[in-house]
Structures are given as C-alpha cells and as structure tokens.
A and B are shown apart, each in its own frame.
Chain A
Amino acid sequence: MSSIPTPILWTVILGLALGSYALRFAFIGFMGGKPIAPWLMRHLRYTAVAIIPALVAPLVVWPAPTDGSPSLIHFAAAAATFAVGYLTKNVLYGLAAGGASLLLLYLAA
C-alpha cells in the first residue's frame, strides 16, 4: 500500500474540514428561515446513499487484496456484511458479520 504524501493528506483534511463546516453552516448561519428548494432537498437526501455504494461496488467486484481479480471469499463476506446491516439496520452487526465471515472463509480456504 503506497503511503499518502503529507501535503495531500493535509490539503484533504483542511479542505474537508472547511467544506463540511460550510455545508453545515449554510442554512443555519446564512439563510435564516428561508426554506430550501424542494428539488434540491430531494437530491440532497440521496447523495450519501448514492456515493457510498458507488464507491464500494468496484472494491467488491475487483478486490484490492487479490490485486483486482474477482474473489468469491471477498464477495461472500461483502454480501454477508450488507445483508446483516440491512436486516438489523445496525452498522456494527453488519461489520461484525462481515469480519467474521471473511475470517472463517480465509481459514476454510
């Protein structure tokens, strides 16, 4: 794993800190009581649930530990994580299930 250059890291930290603060402050600070346009609100609602799956899907199909060749072990662990997270609505149960299944499949393989 290549390590992250320090200037990049600090630019990301500062950029994200300022950017996130601006997003959080935008309405409560500047806009007063002005309502946000419904179409904008509608898109904002789905940003996280679009970006995170889009980020993770290629990582599951072409996992980094196998240098990108599709792997049944990683796919199974990913499926277990998602399924348990979805069914229990609890992030930690999902993560525990995924971690455990990854470990078991490694040992069995």
Chain B
Amino acid sequence: MAITTTKSAFWKGFRDSAPFIFMASPFGFLFGVLAAEAGLIVPEAFAFSLAVFAGAAQFTALQLMQENAPLIIILISALAVNLRMAMYSASLTPYLGDAPMWQRAIAAYFMVDQSYALSIVQFENEPKMPAAHRMAYFFGTNGIVAPAWVIATALGALVGTRIPESWGVDFVLPLAFLAMIGPMLRTPAHIAACFVAVATSLPASMLPYNLGLIVAGIAGMMAGAQAELWLERQRAKTEAAK
C-alpha cells in the first residue's frame, strides 16, 4: 500500500513497529524488576528508562553499579554500548537531515535499534518518499514501543519490590545479556568481535576498577573491524580471480 499522507506514513510506522511491543515490554519489565532488586525505587527506575531510553546500556549500568565500579567506568562502558546510536544517527542523516531542527532534536531521542531498523528498510525501499513522510514514519515506529518500554519498566519495578531476595534473581541479569548476544552475531566479523572480547575479558578481569571491561571491549571492537576488512579483501580477491 502506497503512503499518501503524512498521517498515513505515521500510522504505517506505528503498524510496522507493533510486533516490537512483545520485545520491548518484557525487557522493560525485566529491567524494572532487576532495578528494584538492586534497590532502586519505582520513580528512579521509571526516570532511568525515560531519560536514558536504551535497554542494553541501562542493563550495563545497572550491573556495574551493583559491582561498585567507579563512576567513570560505568559511564564509559554504558555509553560504549550506545555508540551504535551514533552510527544510526549518521546512517539516517541522508534521509532525515533536511527536516527542521526541532524535529531532528526530538527524533534523536527516539533513535533506538527498532526505530532505526524499521526506518532504514522503509527509506531504502521507497526512495521517493517525501521528507515529511519519512519523519512521520520514523515517529510512528516509536508511537507505541517507546511508551510500552517506559511503562513496562515502572510495572516491573512495582513487582520487583515485592520479590523476596531469597529467590536469587541475581543471575538473571547475566542471562539477559547472554540472550542479547545471540541475535547480534549477524556476520563472521561480529562473531570475531564477540570471541576476542570474551577471551580478553577473562584475564583482563584481574585489572582494578573494572578497567578490564574497557580493555576487552576495545580489543573486541578492533577485532570486529579488522575481521570485516579481511573478509572484504578476501571477497575482492575471489571476485578478481573469476
């Protein structure tokens, strides 16, 4: 169905994003529960999700705060998890960069995995889409997922304060991270990054102040970038040999 008005562009984004509610709500809920277990009260957990609005980074910060890591390490690590947002921002700029500044300023807040993934596919498939429709579509992809994420966090925190400590939910946070890793491993370069990061993190965990995380993260990042270059060169070689 072709998009004819700005309004219909918004609603198309809204509909396309609907399946992501089933992802965002349970994860937001889980963040709320674990935040409450870590001693956050409901308004704190709610403010956390509303202000930061980035699942993986929030889980990272929560884990490191519980380990009593230094403030600077917490901020660097969680922001490093969010560095991909800068990539999304760069990648959407050709499509949304001409919109008025106030719209771009609001759009930046809503730059998350799902709104990026849906929008880039839509914009690439329909290159003739007018700029106003593009922005409307982008906002549409957040129309329901963003409120779901924040509300689910608050509900999770409400429930979390009632869960007795004896239930031993302190291994659930590592499991949540592990569940996030699988779907990230889309290419051999992603697997290389992950493998090198893991291999470095174990000996590096001896380092003080949780510095090992930063060291292992940088090692993994470089491994991924190098693996990507290597794979590209191999591909170029096979093409040339043909």
Contacts and interface: CB of A to CB of B under 8 A. Distances in A.
Contact of B38 (A3, A54, A84): A3
Interface string B201-230: 110110000001100111111111100110
Q: Is the interface of B mostly helix, strand, loop or mixed?
A: helix
B197 A50 contact: yes
Nearest to A77: B175
Interface centre among A1, A42, A44, A48 (most CB of B within 10 A): A48
Contact of A11 (B71, B84, B180, B205): B71
6 contacts: A1-B165, A3-B38, A21-B108, A28-B107, A54-B201, A84-B182
B77 interface: yes
Contacts of B219: 50
Contacts of A58: 201-202, 205, 212
Given A8-B65, A50-B220, A85 B180 contact: yes
Q: Is the interface of A mostly helix, strand, loop or mixed?
A: helix
Interface string A49-60: 111111111111
Interface residues of B, number: 99
A52 B218 CA distance: 12
A16 B108 CA distance: 14
Interface residues of A, number: 74
B110 to A, nearest CB: 8
B89 A26 contact: yes
